[in-house]
Amino acid sequence: MFRWSEETFNHAKKLYKQGVRTSVIAEKIGTTKNSVLGKMHRNNLTKKSSKNRRNTRHSQSTHYEKHGEAKCWLCNKTYITYSRFDRFCSPCKSRDFYRATT
C-alpha cells in the first residue's frame, strides 16, 4: 500500500507545478493518478479550483470594457466599440451632427 511521505509529496508537488500530468507523476512515485490528484487537491494545489474557474469565466464574459472593433457610421474609421449599440467613434459622438440627430 502506497503511503505519502514528505519526500514523495514534495517530489510530486514539484512535478505537478511544472505541469507534469498526474498519471505520469503517479507512475514515477508508485501510486495511482487519483491518489496524486487527491493529494494535490487536499493541499490546494490543483490549478483549476472551482473558484478560479468561475472568476475566469466571469472576466471573459465581461465584454463591456472592450466590445470589439467597428467602423464608425459617420467617418468610416475603425474604432473600439464598448457595446453593440455603439455606432460612432468618440470624436464623432462629440460632434454637433451626432447631437443633432439624437
Name the minimum Å distance from CB 102 to Zn ion. 15
Containing H/E element for 81?
strand 78-81
Cβ–Cβ < 8 Å for 22, 48: no
Name the minimum Å distance from CB 69 to Zn ion. 13
Q: What is the three-class DSSP state of 58?
A: helix
Among residues 4 and 98, whose Cβ is nearest to Zn ion?
98
Residues of this chain that interact with Zn ion (CB under 5 A) are 72, 74-75, 89, 92
Among residues 45 and 74, whose Cβ is nearest to Zn ion?
74
Name the minimum Å distance from CB 96 to Zn ion. 13
Name the minimum Å distance from CB 13 to Zn ion. 55
Burial class (CB within 10 angstroms; exposed 0-12, middle 13-18, buried 19+) of 7:
exposed
Among residues 24 and 75, whose Cβ is nearest to Zn ion?
75
Question: In sequence order, which residues have a C-beta less than 8 Å from that of residue 8 and are 6 or more positions away?
Answer: 29
Among residues 13 and 95, whose Cβ is nearest to Zn ion?
95
